[in-house]
Chain A
Amino acid sequence: MSFTNDLKVGMRQFGRNPGSMIMAIMAFSLGLGLVGLMLTLVFGVVKGHPENIDFDEIYVLQWDESTRHLWKSGGQFGFIRPKDFRDIDERQEVFENFAFMRNHTFNVVIDKYAERFEGSFVSHDLFDTLGVKPHLGSFFQKGDDEPDRLKKAVISYDIWKNHFESRETIIGQSFNINGQAATIIGVAPEGFDFPSRNDVWMNDTTDYINMSRIDGNGLFVLATLKEGQTLASALAPMNTIAKSMSEEYPETNTGYIAFEITPLSENFIGEDFPRMVYILVACSLMVLLIACTNVANLTLSRATTRVKELAIRASLGGKRQRLVFQMLVEGLAVAFFGGIGGLIIAIWTSKMIWAFVLSASYANPPRWMSMDVDLTTIGYLALITLVASIIASIVPALRASRTDVNEILKDNSRGASSLKMGVFSKILVLAQLSVSCGLLIATTAMVNGAKEAAVFEPPYDPSEIMTARFDFPESYFPGEQRGEAIRRLQELMELNPNLEGVGFSTSVDMLFNWDSRWALRGREAATREDYIQARNEIVSDNYFELLDIPILYGRGFEAMDRGENAEKVCVINEQLAKRLWPDDIQDAIGQQIRDVYSDTIPWSTIIGIVPDTKMAGPGANKTDEQLGGVYRPLSSANDQPSLTVFAKTGGNPTAQADQIRAILHNEDESFALYRIKTVASAVKESQFGVIFFRNIFGMFGAAAFLLASIGVYGVMDFSIRQKFQEYSIRQALGAGRQTIFKHVFKMSSWQIILGVVIGSAIGYGILGLMTQNQMVSPSANPAIFIIPILLIVGVSIAALYAPARYVVNANLADTLRGE
C-alpha cells in the first residue's frame, strides 16, 4: 500500500465528487475564518500593547474596590488622590518607578487658532516608568512636578509632523496651551500615544502640598517593581502603608486599607471588553464545531459510498486500515485548503471590522492597536485547524474501520450503506441544531439590543439640535469671573443674528448626565447610599424653552434666580417627582433637595416639574433611577470645567458651530470647540459598542445558521437516503405518502425538540454571561428566543422534507426489484 496510490485514489474521489469536498473546504473556511477573526481581536486588542512598552512589567496601583467607600471620595472610584500619592510615594519601598498621569484636554494655539488635543498631565518619571525614549529633545526631569516650575510639554510624533512640519527647532519654543505659556521640550517616538490617542503630555505643577486631602482629580498610578520584587511580595507592604494612612487620616482615608495592583496588560483594556471577546471566541469555536460536524458528515457519506468497494478489496486481501488512512489524508487536505480559506476570511473580516472601529468616533482606539492577522494569529489558527481536522475525520474514520467487512458483503438489504452510524449522525444533527440555535438567540438578542440602544425620543427633534463642547477651566476665568464670563458668552451668542438661540448644559452631547444622590429636606436617610439616586444636569436658563420642553407644573428658571443672594432653585422631571411624591407630584413644588455628594452645594427649592426628558440618554428599558433627574441653573453652579453648547441647527450644524467658535475665539484665543455634531448623530455614535458586537454576532449567527442548515440537510438527507430501500418497502406494503412523511418527521422530531431545548439553554447561558457587561445590553424578551427557534424548526423541517419527498417519489418497481 503506497501513499501515492492513496493520493491517487483520493484525487479520483475528488474528481468524481468535487462538490462534497468543496463543501467541506468551504465549511472549514467559514468556521476557521471566524475563529481567526477572533484571534486578531484577542492578540491585537485584548492582549495587544505598543511595540516598545512592556504591559506585563508595568503595574497599575488603585484602591481595592472591595474595601473602599466610594462616596467618601466623592465618587473618585479606585483612583488615588494627589495628596495620597505623595504620601505613598514617600513611604513605599517596593517600586522602582512610581509615576502618575491624569487625562486632560489641551488647547494649543498654533498659528493664532486653538487646536484641541487629548493629553495628560504626568509626573516627571512617567516616561521612565514606561521605558520610552524621546524621538527628539528630552522628557521631564526630577523637580518638574514642583508648583513653581515652568510649564513644559511633550508632543506626539503625529502633531509634530502634521502641525509643525517636523521642524527640529520646535524644541524650546513656547506656545499658549490652555491659556498659559508652555515650552515644548520633546517629541515622543513615532506611534506613541499612551494611554490612548494622547498627543500632549505636560508636567503637573499643581500645588498638591497645599491641597486638602480630599481634593484633586484621581490619578492613574503606574509603577515598575524593584529587582527581586513580585506582585505578591509587593502587596503586603503596600497594604501596611494604606492601613497606617487610614489611621493617620481618618477623616478622608477610613476604609482605604488595601490596594489593588494589576499588570497594565489587564488594567488597560478593562474587564468588560475581554469578557465579551472571550464569549465571542467561545462562539466562534462553536461555529467551527458546526463546521467540523459538517465536514465529518461529508467525509462519512463519501466513505459510505466507498465502503463496499473497500470491503471487496479487503476480502481480496487488502488491508482494512487503508480506508482510515485515506480518510485521514483526505481530512488533512480539506483542512489545509480550509485553513487557507479561513485565513483569507479572517484577513478580510478583520480589516472590515477594524475599518468600522476607526470610522466610529466613539471607539477611538490607541494608535498601536490593530486587528492584523500576524504570525501569532496564523500559528494559533494552524494549530486549531489541525485539531479541527482531526475531530472532523477521526470519528468517521473509526466508524468506517469498525464495520464488519463480512456483514457488508453479506447484507443485501441495505446495499452499500451499511455504515451503521445512526447514533453518530443523530448526535451530529443535535450538535448542529443546538449550537446554531444558541448562537442565533445571542444574535437576535444583540440585534434587539442595538435597536433598543437607538431609542431616544426627547420632546425635541434630535436631528435639529447641534451640540458641541468647550473647556472652560479655572485657568481661563478663575472664581468669581466665571459666572460673568458665561453670561457674556451667552449674550454674545444670543445677539448673533445667525444663531437661532443658544443654550448651555453639562450634559455630554446632550445625552449623558452624571448620577448623584439627593437628600430631601425633612426625610433623612441613614447613610449616603440610602439617599435617592437621580441624574444631575446643569443648564442655562433658556434650556427648556429652546428645546420645547414644557413646564408641567410651577415655572422654569428666570432672571430672578440669578445672583449671589437669589434663592437656590431647581427643576425636576416627572420620574423623580413620581418617586418622591407618588400621591401628587405637584406636592414637589416648594420642597428642597440637595446633592449629598457635595458638602458645598446648598439646598435648592424645587420650582418646576418637566416631563420625561430622557436624562439617561438613548436606550430602552431604563430603570426609574436612571430616568429621574434634577436640573439646576448654570447661573448658580458655574464651576464646571467643560460645557456643552447647543443650538438649533437651522439645517447646517457646521455653520452654527463656526459662528459659535468665532464668538468663543473672540473672547479668548485659547478656547477650542470640539465634539461638534447633531444630537441625532451623537445617539448613533453612542451605540458603537452594541453595534460592534451586534455585527460580529450577526456574522456568527449567519455563519452558524448557514452551516447548520447545510449540515442538518446533509445529515438528514444522508440518513434518509440510507433508508431509501426501507421506505420503498414500506410503500410497497401500503404506506401512503403521509405515512412516510409522518414516519420521517416523527423519527427526527425528538432531535429537533432536544436541539431547540439545548440551544435555548446555550443561548440563555451566553446572554447570562453578556448581561454582566456594561458595554452592551443584549435585550432579553421572549421574541429573541421564539424567532431563532422558529428558524431552526423551519430549517429542520425543510431539511427533512426534501429527502422525504425524494423517497416518496422513488420508482418502487426499480428499487425493489432484485439486484
Chain B
Amino acid sequence: MSEINSPLIHLKDISKVFLTDEIETHALSGINLDINEGEFLSISGPSGCGKSTLLSILGLLDSPSAGSYSLAGREVASLNNNERSRIRNLDVGFIFQSFNLIGDLTVYENVELPLVYRGLKASERKTRVLEALEKVQMSHRQSHYPHQLSGGQQQRVAVARALGGTPRILLADEPTGNLDSKNGGKVMEMLQELNKEGATICMVTHDERYNDMASRIVHLFDGKVVDETVAAVAQA
C-alpha cells in the first residue's frame, strides 16, 4: 500500500533510446511524471513524440534505458521478466488501438484470461468476468468470437478484459483510433464512467474532443514533457 499523498506512479528521469541499424532514436529523454490514484491522465503530442513508448514503459511492456519508475511505491524499472508479468497481471490493464483480442478464444475466455493467469478460482473468475462484461454491455455476446463482433464491440470487450482484474491503472493507447466517432464516443464515455467510479486511467489520444475528458493533459514533444494542463472541469 502506498503512503498517503505519495503518487501511484512516480517516473524520474526516464529515457528510452532505440538502437536500430546503429542509429540511435531518443524516443524519451528525461521524463519526470507523477500519476495520482483516481486521476484521468491524457498524453498528447505530435506523431513520433514518444507517447506510445511512454505508455509501454508505464505498462511494463518495455523497460526504460535509464531512470527510475516506481509503481505503488515499488521500484519496477529493473525487475526480471517474471516479476514484470506478475505486475502486468495484477496492477495494469491494457486497452490497445487494435483491440488485441485472441481470435481463437470467445469473448468470455478473452476476459477471463488475465484472471486465469492470476490463479483465481473458476467461480470467482466467473463472477468477475460477468460483472466486467455487464459494465461494457457485452454480456449477451459472451460466447461469440472476436471476428463475429464489430470494432466497437471488440474494443468494449477489450475494456472489459482490462477491467476484470481491477488493476491499479488502466492504460489506453489510442483506444478510439480504429473506431468511428459514434463507437469511439461510446468507449470514451465508458472510460469516463470508470474513472468516476475510481479507476486511474492513463490514455493517449489524438482526438482533441476526448482530451477534454481527462483531468490532466501531459504534452509531449520530442520525447520531453513540455507542458501540462489541468482541466478545470475535472478538478471540480
A-to-B contact residues, CB < 8 Å: 407, 410-414, 725-726, 729-739, 808, 811-813, 816-819
Contacts and interface: CB of A to CB of B under 8 A. Distances in A.
Given A413-B103, A818-B97, A733 B89 contact: yes
Interface in B102-133: 102-104, 113-114, 117-118
B206 to A, nearest CB: 12
Given A733-B117, A734-B86, A818 B102 contact: no
Given A726-B104, A733-B161, A818 B118 contact: no
A145 B181 CA distance: 111
A222 to B, nearest CB: 70
B100 A413 contact: yes
Contact of A818 (B53, B62, B178): B178
Contacts of A808: 81
Interface of B: 52-53, 56, 59, 61-62, 81-82, 85-86, 88-90, 94, 96-104, 113-114, 117-118, 146-147, 161, 165, 173-174, 177-178
Contacts of B161: 733
Contacts of B88: 731-734
Contacts of A739: 85, 117
Closest 6 pairs (CB-CB, A-B):
A734-B89, A818-B97, A813-B56, A813-B62, A736-B85, A818-B98
Contacts of A818: 96-98, 173-174, 177-178
A738 to B, nearest CB: 8
B62 A733 contact: no
A736 B82 contact: yes
Contacts of B85: 731, 734-737, 739
B70 to A, nearest CB: 20
Contacts of B165: 734
B110 to A, nearest CB: 9
B81 A737 contact: yes
B86 A736 contact: yes
B100 A811 contact: no
Nearest to B101: A413
A812 B86 CA distance: 15
Given A731-B85, A732-B100, A733-B161, 7 more contacts: A733-B89, A734-B89, A734-B114, A737-B81, A817-B52, A818-B174, A819-B98
Contacts of A411: 103, 147
A819 B174 CA distance: 12
A151 B152 CA distance: 106
Nearest to B56: A813
29 contacts: A410-B147, A412-B178, A413-B98, A413-B101, A413-B146, A414-B103, A726-B102, A730-B113, A731-B88, A732-B94, A732-B100, A733-B161, A734-B85, A734-B88, A734-B90, A736-B81, A736-B82, A736-B85, A737-B82, A737-B85, A811-B62, A812-B56, A813-B56, A813-B61, A816-B61, A816-B94, A816-B98, A818-B98, A818-B174
Contacts of A812: 56, 61-62
A733 to B, nearest CB: 4
Nearest to B96: A816
A223 B81 CA distance: 83
A415 to B, nearest CB: 10
A412 B62 contact: no
